[in-house]
Amino acid sequence: MKKNVEEILRDVKRLLDESNEIVDQIGTLKSERAQLQPLCGSLRRRLIRCGKQNCRCRRGQLHGPYNYFVSSKCRGKWQYISNEELERVEQGVADWKKQRKIDADIQAFSARLKEIRQEIATLIPAD
């Protein structure tokens, strides 16, 4: 069934409103993203053996646990994290997760914007 002009205008307006809302949301996400200080990797806790000859760790009483940061970029490399650094690294790892979530959201919003543009193009009659 063919839509009349009012219906078309109403649909186009609805799509434009949605589009404006999405542009705003992308803007908010981008400024949130700019605040992040991401560390790409994860925090692990690990028990260690020190290597001294007569130490208790030789009998299975290991030292620690100590905190380590494992970078996603250099796999297998563990970086020791002191208690003073722990909070900053935890925040960095959390920011990295947040950044990936924001990037996925921005991508989804951008895909929807593209759809909207196509929908508007099909609503406007060619003749």
What one-letter code names the amino acid at 116?
A: I
> Mask 24-63, x = binds Zn ion (CB under 5 A)?
--------------------------x----x-x------
What one-letter code names the amino acid at 53?
A: Q
Nearer to Zn ion, 2 or 52 (CB): 52
- Residue 46 C-beta: closest distance to Zn ion, Å: 14
Q: Which parts of 61-120 interact with Zn ion (CB under 5 A)?
A: none
User: What are the CA-CA distances from residue 60 to residues 46, 52, 64, 67, 95 (Å)?
Assistant: 14, 13, 12, 19, 36
Nearer to Zn ion, 16 or 50 (CB): 50
Nearest to 84 by CA among 103, 67, 107: 67
Nearer to Zn ion, 80 or 117 (CB): 80
Number of chain positions touching Zn ion (CB under 5 A) = 3
- Residue 64 C-beta: closest distance to Zn ion, Å: 10
Q: What is the 3-state secondary structure (H, E, C) of 63-90?
A: EEEEEEEEECCCCCCEEEECHHHHHHHH
**Chain contacts with Zn ion (rule: CB under 5 A):** 50, 55, 57
